Amino acid sequence: MANFTEAINAINHITEVWESKLLNLPDDTISNRRNSQNRTIKQLIGHLIDSASNNHQRMVRLQYHSDLTFPDYTQDNDRWIAIQNYQNEDWNNLVALWKFYNLHIVHLVQNIDISKLNNTWTDFEGNIVSLHDMINGYPSHLHLHISEIEEIIAK
């Protein structure tokens, strides 16, 4: 049986710690300060929602497909952020959606069909990623963007 305790704990920890931090940030900090990619904190949380959404889809679909070529949005991150206009989204709603989407991913991982962990997804660059590796790698993406948020806050 696969043990995803570390990934689950990381996701739970990030959402638990950061929900209140995010909600207590001043509007100027979340809306006006930008990172090196010219993204605000609101846009970064929107991007993390997109990431949760896309990874959720992959994690579900890989339990009934052994080899999946699923549309990748990596090359379209900024387009997704702009189309959804995260910059003007209600902040409380954004944070809640981010939190609860990640808690649902935890639930999904806790109920994963372990016989499907070697099923793979191929991204737009041709990289092949197993369901197992996708689950274990997901917290790293959260950490990456939380670090960017910390840098913006520190400015």
pLDDT digits (tens, 9 = 90+) for 81-101: 999 999 999 999 999 999 999
Q: Which of 60, 27, 26 is nearest to 134 (CA)?
A: 60
Task: Give this prediction's pTM.
Answer: 0.93
Extents of the domains making up the chain: 5-154
Q: Which of 102, 95, 91, 85 is nearest to 141 (CA)?
A: 102
Q: What is the pLDDT of residues 4-55, one digit of tens each?
A: 999 999 999 999 999 999 999 999 999 999 999 999 999 999 999 999 999 9
Question: Strand, coil or helix: what is 34?
Answer: coil
Percentage, residues of the chain above pLDDT 90 = 84
Query: Which of the following CATH numbers is that of domain 5-154: 1.20.120.450, 1.20.950.20, 3.40.50.970, 3.40.50.300?
Result: 1.20.120.450
pLDDT bracket for residue 1 (50, 70, 90) = very low
Tokens representing 46 are 């929107």
Q: Are strands 120-122 and 67-68 parallel, antiparallel or unpaired?
A: parallel
Q: What is the DSSP string of 4-25?
A: -HHHHHHHHHHHHHHHHHHHTS
Q: Which of 107, 26, 105, 118 is nearest to 65 (CA)?
A: 118
